[in-house]
Amino acid sequence: MAVNVAVGDVLDQPTGTKQDGGDGETSQIVRQGRYATLDAYAANLKAKSVCNVGTAGNPVMLYVLSWQLERVESDYGRLIINVGEASDDSSSDPDADIVSVKWSVKNVQQQLPLSRFYIDGTWSLGSSPDAHEIALWRQEPRKELYDLYKFLAPDGNAYELSQASKEVADKYRMGIECVMRFYPVVTRTVTYRAGMSWTKINALGIGEKLAHIETPDKTFGLTPGTWLCIQDEADYDAKGMLVRTSGWMGCKSLDADLYGDTNRWEPMSEAPANSGNSGGSGS
């Protein structure tokens, strides 16, 4: 709603500044005139929303970040309105409101269990370590057997580790339980114009692809095998612009039953019938 101003109380032609720090254009509109007239004008301004910052004869719809009304001499005032570029609701495509897109990549440390290397290792066929016998040897309580790379099996017989299994056992005896590896994480930061409608924000589908196999639009030339969406969140910055941050982790391989789109396994929402669990829904 614009203010209809009486003769003698006409708001002066606004002054102000305009700037762009790289995340979209913002402006400061300064109007001067009778304090009562400016006060009535400011009553129609709502911070963090799209408002008419023009007049009845010349409406201008902009996103109001904040406003401040000052009283000056002779019952005059000064109204300072901080505004940003508003979303264009004439388009249903939220991508039309993108102000900037930034990409980055970093390498994140991961501690992998030693078992990952001998269960899925590089030993030649027929000479790979035996994960089962290693597990039994690690649980062997008799030191005389443990020191000889032997274990007492459930059948009552003592067995000795194979040579390949002894190589792994030596690492456990040295206290090596984990192995350091690094995986790439690609991050995309998208800034949208202020004043986007909830219809457009909902159309972005924020969070829908979390824990799904998905390749980012930019991979910086990296080919780890496959990618997993591990981050997708949004927040408003100080200018009232929606900032969405999405991240993808590079992986050697992923189980499509757990992370794919087709026939993806989901947690059970209820306990099986006749399970004896009277607690109802599971986690």
* Residue 206 and residue 104 share a domain: yes
* Residue 130 and residue 41 share a domain: no
Decide: residue 270, CB within 10 A, 0-12 exposed, 13-18 middle, 19+ buried: exposed
Report the pLDDT value the prediction gives residue 269, as an integer from 0 to 100. 75
* Residue 218 and residue 138 share a domain: no
* Residue 214 and residue 100 share a domain: yes
* Residue 217 and residue 188 share a domain: yes
Q: Which residue(s) pair with 108 in the sheet?
A: 183
User: Which residues span the domain enclosing 145?
Assistant: 115-176
Among the candidates 143, 176, 209, a domain finishes at 176
Q: In the chain, which residues have pLDDT < 70?
A: 1-13, 16, 19-25, 86-92, 120-127, 270-283
- Inside any domain, residue 269: no
Q: CA 121, CA 113: separation in Å to the nearest integer?
A: 12
* Residue 125 and residue 99 share a domain: no
- Inside any domain, residue 280: no
* Residue 194 and residue 139 share a domain: no
Longest dimension (CA), the chain: 108
Q: CA 137, CA 147: separation in Å to the nearest integer?
A: 10
Among the candidates 138, 160, 176, a domain finishes at 176
* Residue 217 and residue 120 share a domain: no
- The string of DSSP codes covering the chain is ----PPTT-PPPPPEEEEEE-SS-EEEEEEEEEEHHHHHHHHTT--TTEEEE-S-SSS--EEEEEEEEEEEETTTEEEEEEEEEPBP-TT---GGGGEEEEEEEEEEEEEEEETHHHHHS--PPTT----HHHHHHHHT---HHHHTTTEEE-TTS-EEE--HHHHHHHHHHHTT--EEEEEEEEEEEEEEE-BT--HHHHHHT-TTTTTTSB---S--TT---SEEEEEEEEEEE-TTS-EEEEEEEEEES---HHHH-STT-----SBPPTTSS-TT-B--
* Residue 133 and residue 103 share a domain: no
* Residue 32 and residue 148 share a domain: no
Q: Provide the CATH number for the domain around residue 230.
A: 3.30.200
Report the pLDDT value the prediction gives residue 90, as an integer from 0 to 100. 61
Structural domain count of the chain: 3
252-256 long-range contacts (CB < 8 A, ≥24 apart) are 252/224, 252/225, 252/226, 253/225, 253/226, 254/213, 254/226, 254/228, 256/213
Report the pLDDT value the prediction gives residue 153, as an integer from 0 to 100. 92
Is pTM, for the whole model, over 0.75? no
134-137 long-range contacts (CB < 8 A, ≥24 apart) are 134/161, 134/165, 134/168, 134/169, 134/172, 137/161, 137/165, 137/169
* Residue 216 and residue 162 share a domain: no
Report the pLDDT value the prediction gives residue 168, as an integer from 0 to 100. 93
- With a pLDDT cut of 70, the percent of the chain lying above it is 82
